[in-house]
Amino acid sequence: MPKKKGFKIIFDLSKIQEYLRNEKLDGWLLADFHCRNNIAVEFLNLPANLTRRFFYFIPAMGQPTALIHNIEKDKFTHLLGNHISFSSYKDLELSLGKILKGCQRIAMEYSPGGRLPYIGLVDAGTIELVRSYGVKIVSSADMVSFFTARMTPEQILMHKNAAFLVNRIKDDAFTYIKRHLSGGIFLNEKMVVDFIKRRFDEENLITDFAPICAVDANISNPHYEPPSDGSAVIARNGLILIDLWAKLNQTDSIFADITWMAYAGESVPDKYRSPFSIVVSARNRAVDYIKEKYPQPVFGYDIDDACRQVIIDAGYGNYFFHRTGHSILESVHGPGPNIDNLETEDRRRLLPGHLFSIEPGIYLEGYGFRSEIDLMLTESGPEITTLPMQIEIIPLLA
């Protein structure tokens, strides 16, 4: 089954059923209408132009069953198992009841309380319908991340190669800035972004969105995009943040994503050094927490709490207003567990092969701070894949 953008599809029926049995689930029910459940559509390698409801039930034992509309049944011929077609909603409901007969506990793309919207992709009415058959529904969140978000050994190597190149290009970008500052040559944020993009091309790297170069007050917008016209000038004594992400221009390659900071002067002022040291301590606390906890179960929400508490204790809690990190895979924001207990409550278990960022920040009026690394969970524990880690803001003119 071919892979799709953003997901590393692994459809191995025996492994899926083994997982279901280990979790004491009677099955996994994939449900969709109009491709709203992208997990179901991509996992089953379906086209993106479906217009009718479908269900695909994978039982813990036996053959799967597809419940598909007569108009679209030709789009499902590649799926394993029994195929049942319907036209009316009454036929659909009758057939679905028969498929689920005897089931007590199944997984669906459902998020209790809506706290993890990445997985809450099945509408409330469909959840009500399934429950009407006497079935208990649990979230498929861990199951989805198990089968779609773990890197293969080949992908790990591609990620590490990308990480090496991205780090080198970051260094080149700061050298580029230093050269302009030292020579009194005009430079703005957009020019740095364009330089990084040229280096990506030279190293045969690809990305989805342009990198970030932000100075001073613009750093306080974590998703700042330097405009083509009116981009801020990079001048002496300015604070500079570069956030860049890219992957090898190869099939199934994995992104690397880092953020570093510099100061356009000889000595970094205390007002910058002190908050940045807190960000570094929070980042390191997240890494240490995983080391201390593993191999016991580790979850994104717990790591976020550990990291965020450092910034809260330092009095900057209100100035760290995004999650600690995100899943990384074939898209820079991947389908796996995020490091988050702020924007969402991510209780998905982190597993060997999962890759994610750790990127705490403090965003004040007039300037801000962020440090970002990538971390991969392995059988022996966490591995930072984007070494070296930044310890202090770089004084470019020292």
Asked if the model's pLDDT at residue 6 lies above 70, the reply is: no
Asked if the model's pLDDT at residue 11 lies above 90, the reply is: no
Give domain 153-395's CATH superfamily: Creatinase/methionine aminopeptidase superfamily (3.90.230.10)
The model's pLDDT over 149-189, given as tens digits with 9 standing for 90+, comes to 999 999 999 999 999 999 999 999 999 999 999 999 999 99
Mean pLDDT over residues 64-79, rounded? 97
Alpha-carbon torsion 289, 290, 295, 300, what sign? positive
pTM over 0.85: yes
> Maximum distance among all alpha carbons in the chain?
76
Q: Which residues of 123-150 are buried (b: 16+ CB within 10 A; e: fewer)?
A: eeebbebbeebebebbbbbbbbbbbbbb
Asked if the model's pLDDT at residue 364 lies above 90, the reply is: yes
Mean pLDDT over residues 236-240, rounded? 97
**Integer Cα distance of 249 and 252 in angstroms:** 9
* Mean predicted lDDT score pLDDT of the chain: 96
**Integer Cα distance of 114 and 305 in angstroms:** 20
Locate 367 and state its tokens. 């300037």
The model's pLDDT over 209-232, given as tens digits with 9 standing for 90+, comes to 999 999 999 999 999 999 999 999
| Whether the Cβ atoms of residue 27 and residue 138 lie closer than 8 Å to each other | no
**Integer Cα distance of 395 and 398 in angstroms:** 6
Angle of helix 153-183 versus helix 189-202 axis, rounded to 10:
140
Share of the chain above pLDDT 70, in %: 97
Q: Which pLDDT score, from 0 to 100, does residue 344 have?
A: 97
Q: Which pLDDT score, from 0 to 100, does residue 9 have?
A: 54
Who has greater pLDDT, 7 or 104? 104
Share of the chain above pLDDT 90, in %: 96
Q: Which pLDDT score, from 0 to 100, does residue 8 have?
A: 45
Mean pLDDT over residues 123-130, rounded? 98
The model's pLDDT over 16-58, given as tens digits with 9 standing for 90+, comes to 999 999 999 999 999 999 999 999 999 999 999 999 999 999 9
Question: For residue 7, what pLDDT band results from cuts at 50, 70 and 90?
Answer: very low
Q: Which pLDDT score, from 0 to 100, does residue 5 have?
A: 40
Asked if the model's pLDDT at residue 332 lies above 70, the reply is: yes
Q: Which residues of 167-200 are buried (b: 16+ CB within 10 A; e: fewer)?
A: bebbebbbebbbebbeeeeebbbbbbbbbbbebb
Please choose, from the candidates 41, 32, 31, the residue with its C-alpha nearest in 3D space to the C-alpha of residue 6: 41
User: For residue 59, what is the enclosing H or E element?
Assistant: strand 54-59
| Whether the Cβ atoms of residue 355 and residue 334 lie closer than 8 Å to each other | yes
Show me where the domains of the chain are located: 13-148, 153-395
| Whether the Cβ atoms of residue 116 and residue 345 lie closer than 8 Å to each other | yes
Tell whether domain 13-148 is in CATH 3.40.350.10.
yes
Asked if the model's pLDDT at residue 394 lies above 50, the reply is: yes
| Residue 233, helix vs strand vs coil | strand
Query: Which residue in this structure is represented by tokens 């491709």?
Result: 35
